[in-house]
A and B are shown apart, each in its own frame.
Chain A
Amino acid sequence: MTGHDVVFVLVGLLTAGGAVLTVTSKNLMHAALFFAVTLGGIAGVFLPLAADFLALVQIVVYVGAVAVLFMFGLMLTRAPIGREALDGQNRGLAMAVAGGLFVVLSTLVIGAFGDLPTAEVTGPRIDDLGIAIFADWVLPFEVLSMLLLAALIGAIVLARRETGESGEELTVTRIEMAQDRDPDALEREQAALTSGSGGDGEEHA
């Protein structure tokens, strides 16, 4: 075990534990905090992978911005602390699906990459990375700037409250749902219809 391995095992456990707690915490604020821990753990995993730059970006963007954004979101929506229960009906199914996926993925991954040499590679230096981004990948980078601007403008559009300038004055669009005529063909559609909004006809809020 080298120093890298020790770091990896420690932050790997931290990351996995944080992720499990994010998914299982009933208190939403706790879930967000564990989410931040997981993100920090990922930054830690980047270090033994010789991706120092990514570790920094991960901390600045994810831990520093995205996680905080999520917490603001939870507070703005006055999250019911400790009230949200997990969906009990689907628990077994979810566990089975995800567990199966994990087993399949890891066997496949080991089959594909397990026997690859693991020589000590020093990752690309940050200046190489900079040159790569601004020379080889300059087109996606520039498009990304448009995408970020669009996200910014979009968030403003959605958040801004200005009388008379946010769409028409309707509360709910009148939409006539499908008639339930053919029971065999469309079980899903049907089940959702009966449980969701009470059959055919017009929908009102």
Chain B
Amino acid sequence: MQIDFIAILPEIILTVTALLVLAADLALRGDAKQFVNPLAGLGTVAAIIATVALWGSERVTFGTMYVVDDFAVLFKLLFLGTLLAILAISWRYIAEHRFFQGEYYFLLLTSFIGMLLMPSSRDLIMLFIALETVSVPAFVMVGMRKRDLYSSESALKFFLLGVLAAALMLFGMSMVYGFAGTTDLVGIAAAISGETASVPLLLGSVMLVLVGFGFKISAVPFHFWAPDTYSGAPMPVAAMLAVASKAAGFAGLVVVAFIAFEPVADVWGPMLGVLAVLTMTVGNLIALQQRDLIRLLAYSSVAQAGYILIPFGLARTGPGAAVVNAAAIEAVVFYLIAYAVMNVGAFAVAIAVERRTGLRSIADYAGLSGRSPLLAMGMTVFLLSLGGAPLTVGLWAKFAILEAIAVDITLFGIVLAGFLVVNSVIAFFYYLKVVRTVWMDEAPAGLPQLQPGFNLSAVVVVLMVGTLVLGVLPGLVTDFSSVISIVAAG
């Protein structure tokens, strides 16, 4: 069997980097240990270059198990970009809080290897392994603040729920395999569409598989881990879980839903649509009551997952479905990119504020505008964008979803659009509450000026500029995301 090593070059580079990081951590002593961070960053940049080189080509290797097309490349760039940002915001945080640094970066890179594999996988086994490679290092990273009881408990909760979701998903996968006789996604689609009558067991199995991904993206009945885990984990890890790990879940969900289960899209489409409504409504309503910023961001990320689920609710099968499905995938990818830019930014600001003061409740952000205008500006832009304000990328992301709905207007689509609009309005209440605290409230006496380090400032500035530039010129991304429709045809 011929292996196309160019196709898996980004993964190979990341693997080598992870092992180098581990070795470098052994060699370095004391304060020098923090320099494994730029090493990991170099590896990430190399992986980005290798990934960009793959754009425009379609490579299939390992049988048909691994496909690198534009869809996969776009997702890989999203993950690697997020990794770069997370490395930058981790540096000071991890060094100052005296974590096991080499091990932390090794686990982080390993988790991202799993993510890179996700959008390219065309096989149930590969998807399962990729998902577990994302999860297992994450379980450990969440529990890395060992002296903090809260961290230990949230890690255990995350772990137990994660393994339970994996078991449910595997049970579904095993039934799907029993039904189709193959683990190849295209083969499964062929086996399903070959069936004349719908088999209840098959539909049940499909639901179970979707549950596994629902956990990863923290859709509503499976979201209980998210707020506790985000607030218990080291903050860069929370950012990773909220953005990269969630995007990986969505990548897997797109692949498995739109390729393997495409013939039964009539069943899971409406179900995921209902899930989307539940997720955004519950997420937003609980977020309204939060007083801790990380918990607020956690519930807001639950709500955002609901928005991203809407296009899945539009999926259908039969004649004319390809156009609708392609538009849905496009909307998902564009929203995820926008979401990554604005949410990583929000977490970066939260880290900058917490790192100096150890404060994290929303009240502690009072008068941030006086203490650090840059961070205050950043927080405002990111939160307004998450809410979907004009001139930010968040608005276009919501437009992308509405556009996908408008491709073929149905009653269900209109209902989904209605919920999207109402929820966006609700969300503005809590985003604006934070913004008001930042700009209007008096800072409590005795709080020091904030001077975020170079890395954090750079991340905040880059992401802020990105949010605004994409808000004016969304074409910079949509030009790319509009050519990825091939996945629906596959």
Chain A residues in the interface with B (C-beta under 8 A): 104, 108-109, 111-113, 135-140, 143-144, 146-147, 149-151, 153-158, 160, 164-182, 185-186, 189, 200, 205
Contact = CB atoms under 8 A, between A and B. Distances in A.
Contacts of A177: 291-292, 295
B65 interface: yes
5 contacts: A108-B201, A146-B113, A182-B285, A185-B285, A205-B149
Contacts of A173: 148, 150-151, 231-232, 360
A178 B360 contact: no
A36 B47 CA distance: 44
B113 A154 contact: no
Interface stretch (B126-134, B244-252, B268-276, B342-350): B126-134
Nearest to B120: A139
Nearest to B362: A176
B288 A157 contact: no
B199 A172 contact: no
A112 B179 contact: yes
B202 A112 contact: yes
A154 B22 CA distance: 12
Contact of A154 (B139, B204, B282): B139
A175 B99 CA distance: 21
B361 interface: yes
B69 to A, nearest CB: 17
A150 B110 contact: yes
B100 A139 contact: no
Contact of B140 (A154, A160, A179, A180): A154
Interface in B98-143: 98-100, 103-104, 106-107, 110-111, 113-114, 117, 125-126, 129-130, 132-133, 136-137, 139-140, 143
Contacts of B99: 165-167
A167 B148 contact: yes
B73 to A, nearest CB: 18
B445 interface: no
Given A111-B200, A168-B148, A186 B285 contact: yes
Task: Determine chain B's interface SS by DSSP, over half rule.
Answer: helix
A143 B289 CA distance: 42
Interface in B444-477: none
B485 interface: no
B146 interface: yes
A179 B98 contact: no
Contacts of B106: 150, 153
B144 interface: yes
B286 A186 contact: yes
Contact of A158 (B140, B149, B202): B140
A181 B289 contact: yes
A171 B291 contact: no
Interface in B316-363: 358, 360-361, 363
Contact of A168 (B8, B98, B125, B199): B98
Contacts of A169: 147
B18 interface: yes
B18 A113 contact: no
Given A168-B98, A178-B286, A179-B289, A154 B147 contact: no
Contact of A150 (B126, B130, B136, B361): B136
A182 B430 CA distance: 14
B125 A140 contact: yes
B201 A109 contact: yes
A163 to B, nearest CB: 10
Nearest to B145: A167
A153 B113 CA distance: 16
B285 to A, nearest CB: 5
B66 interface: yes
Contacts of A160: 100
Contacts of A147: 110, 114, 129, 132-133, 136
A67 B140 CA distance: 21
A32 B291 CA distance: 42
A167 B98 contact: yes
B408 to A, nearest CB: 33
A168 B149 CA distance: 12
B289 A180 contact: yes
A180 B178 CA distance: 48
A109 B178 CA distance: 10
Given A104-B204, A139-B62, A157-B100, 18 more contacts: A109-B201, A111-B201, A136-B63, A143-B129, A143-B133, A147-B110, A149-B110, A153-B106, A154-B139, A156-B103, A157-B107, A167-B144, A172-B148, A175-B231, A175-B294, A176-B361, A177-B291, A182-B289
Contacts of B295: 175, 177-178
A156 B146 CA distance: 12
A167 B125 CA distance: 36
Given A108-B201, A176-B292, A170 B110 contact: no
Q: Nearest 6 A-B pairs (CB), nearest first?
A: A154-B140, A167-B145, A178-B289, A108-B201, A176-B291, A112-B201
B372 interface: no
B15 interface: yes
Nearest to B148: A170
Contacts of A166: 98-100, 144, 146-147
Nearest to A167: B145
Contacts of A182: 285, 288-289
A46 B178 CA distance: 16
B381 to A, nearest CB: 25
B1 interface: yes
A138 B66 CA distance: 11
Given A153-B107, A156-B103, A172-B149, A165 B98 contact: yes
A111 B199 contact: yes
Contacts of B137: 150, 154
B110 A146 contact: yes
Counting chain A CB atoms within 10 Å of each CB, the highest count among B140, B178, B358, B363 belongs to B140
A179 B117 contact: no
B117 A143 contact: yes
A124 to B, nearest CB: 14
A186 B289 contact: yes
